[in-house]
Amino acid sequence: MARATAGGPPDRGPFSRWKSPARGPWLTSVFGLVLLVGIPIEFVTGLLSYAAYDPRLGSGPNPDHGLFGLYLFNWVTSPPWLYRVIEGTHVTLGLVLVPVVLAKLWSVMPKLFAWPPWRSVAHFLERLSLVLVVGGVVFEMVTGMLYIDYANRTNFYSGHFYGAWAFMAGFVVHVSVKFADMVRALRSRRLRTELRTGLAGTRPEPSDGSLVAPAPAPPTISRRGILALVGGTSLAVFVLTAGQSIGGAMRSLALFGTHYRSSGTGPNDFPVNYTAASVGITPAATGTSWRLVLVGARRVSLSREQLLALPLVTADLPIACTEGWSTQQRWTGAPLAELARLAGIKDVRPARISALDSHSVVLSGTQVWARGSMLALRVNGADLSLDHGFPARVIVPSAPGAHNLKWMSEIVFSEPT
């Protein structure tokens, strides 16, 4: 039973505390439109990034996918910058959207707590999709941000993947239900007028029985102020992160990724994620006794001098980590296809590559034979430094950084059948 307080507004229950006069369908729809564009980009780049690990090769972080793996395909090796752009976009845009998501949630707060929770079957389904949308977006933001700093080596990858599918299910229902409302609300006010309206002119939108406060308080911020706050925060996030993927002068502004900032001198002065010391690689293990072992139709063991005597190639290729950062350098080394031939392999086959720190991944046949795929021995005209993978490091065009193994020890080409 609603009570009327003498001389004051009617008491609308515990949720009458949402009093901002700026809250309303128009503001919610502005944030909604940004997310309607941004979230599908996140979904597509995320799925592509996942495909890049090529789970069918039976290695890497991907579990068995069941139905969710249907779309997975053999990852491409060209153009060489493709993975870098996909992952840089996914991580940067994901972070830039966080303030927009928070603002959108703030703007619909009264609805999230609306009581009774359902009035009809349709209303109940709509609210059920909200659980997926709100729970899903929060889950994706949290697992995404934890994964960016996966130096802590916890695997949030599967959760982020399956969470994305659950979130998108809710997202599709939510967009279908709300799209017409969004368009109507966006048409109800002009952006240009709002951007000219200061605090004094800020009035509530006409009551819509849900978002607009029944008893609005005097404004403490204009709609223009809220848009500037959210847009400014997103811009700040962009400036503080994009440099880790774009590089150049912007890299020094990328405060969110200090652990891979730099790493060496001269030609070797570019970012390092894992230093030799951090994974227990000593100069002794990589000294003159080091050999690269190739296993194929025959077994071959090569010293660094013997590798340097092979016909070498030089290519500008990026290292692009799943964390979002990337860097392009000029690598020189022995083509992986040439090493396959040395091991007596004549056709396109996958290979398992292993490193001294016992890291190991599988490359597809396409990746082994791709133009530019190499066992790099030099970078920017100098020998690789220990931190960059001396004596030899694998570089594969358009592959995730995790495939670019450093301190290589062995390549096993699958046996001829």
Half-sphere exposure of 41 (CA within 13 A, CB side): 18
CB 373 within 8 A of CB 335: yes
| Residues in contact with ligand MTE, shown as a per-residue x/- string from 94 to 133 under the rule CB under 6 A | ----------------------------------------
**Site map 334..373 versus Mo ion, x via CB under 5 A:** ----------------------------------------
C-beta closer to ligand MTE: residue 279 or 300: 279
Size of the site for ligand MTE (CB under 6 A): 18
User: Is the distance from CB of 249 to CB of 262 less than 8 angstroms?
Assistant: no
Name the amino acid, one letter, at 217: A
Total of chain residues touching Mo ion, rule CB under 5 A: 3
Quote helix, strand, coil % in the chain, to nearest 5.
Answer: 50, 15, 40
Q: State the minimum distance, in angstroms, from the CB of residue 101 to ligand MTE.
A: 27
- Say if residues 22 and 109 touch (Cβ distance below 8 Å): no
Contacts (CB under 6 A) with ligand MTE, residues 252-281:
260, 271-274, 279
- Provide the minimum distance between the beta carbon of 378 and Mo ion in the complex, in angstroms, as a whole number: 22
Q: What is the DSSP string of 152-198?
A: G----HHHHHHHHHHHHHHHHHHHHHHHHHHHHHHHHS-HHHHHH--
Residues 236-255 that bind ligand MTE (CB under 6 A): none
Q: Which residue has its beta carbon closest to ligand MTE?
A: 401
Nearest to 407 by CA among 264, 292, 328, 265: 292
CA distance 409 to 392: 8
Checking DSSP bridges between strand 408-413 and strand 393-395, what pairing results, if any? Answer: unpaired
57 binds ligand MTE (CB under 6 A): no
Q: Which is nearer to ligand MTE, 15 or 274 (CB)?
A: 274
Stretch that binds ligand MTE, among 107-115, 189-197, 362-370, 401-409 (CB under 6 A): 401-409
Q: For residue 101, give the H/E element and its range.
A: helix 82-107
CB burial readout 101-138, b (16+ within 10 A) else e: bbbbebbbebeeeeeeeeeeeeeeebeebbebbbebbe
DSSP-based three-state secondary structure for 352: strand
Find which of Mo ion, ligand MTE, none residue 279 binds, CB within 5 to 8 Å per kind.
ligand MTE
Nearest 5°: phi and psi at 47? -65, -40
Which of the stretches 42-50, 175-183, 199-207, 404-412 binds ligand MTE when contact is defined by CB under 6 A? Answer: 404-412
- Is 285 one of the binding residues for ligand MTE (CB under 6 A)? no
Nearer to Mo ion, 259 or 291 (CB): 259
Q: Binding to ligand MTE by residue 388, rule CB under 6 A? A: yes
Q: What are phi and psi of 395, to 5 degrees?
A: -125, 125
Residue with smaller CB distance to ligand MTE, 220 or 262: 262
- What does the per-residue mask of binding to ligand MTE show for 320-339, with x meaning CB under 6 A? -x------------------
Given the complex with ligand MTE, which of 85 and 279 has the nearer CB atom? 279
What character string, x for contact with ligand MTE (CB under 6 A) and - otherwise, covers 355-384?
x-x-x-------------------------
Q: Identify the helix (H) or strand (E) that includes residue 375.
A: strand 374-379
- Report the alpha-carbon distance of residue 303 to residue 301 in Å, rounded: 7
Residue of 319, 339, 342, 376 that binds ligand MTE (CB under 6 A)? 319
Binding test (CB under 5 A) with Mo ion, winner from 82, 401, 412, 413: 401
Count of CB atoms within 10 A of residue 9's CB? 11
The pair of structure tokens assigned to 338 is: 């040439």
**Interface with Mo ion, residue 312, by CB under 5 A:** no
Q: Whose Cβ is closer to Mo ion: residue 29's or residue 49's?
A: 49
What DSSP element (H or E) covers 292? strand 292-295
Query: Which lies closer to ligand MTE via its Cβ, residue 345 or residue 356?
Result: 356
Of the candidate residues 23, 223, 304, 406, the single one contacting ligand MTE (CB under 6 A): 406
Contact 311, 379 (CB under 8 A): no
Pick what 383 binds: Mo ion, ligand MTE, none; C-beta below 5 to 8 Å, kind-dependent.
Answer: none
Q: What burial class does residue 321 get, using C-beta atoms within 10 Å of its C-beta: 0-12 exposed, 13-18 middle, 19+ buried?
A: buried
Q: Which residues bind ligand MTE (CB under 6 A)?
A: 260, 271-274, 279, 319, 321, 355, 357, 359, 388, 401-402, 404-407
Q: Which residues bind Mo ion (CB under 5 A)?
A: 321, 401-402
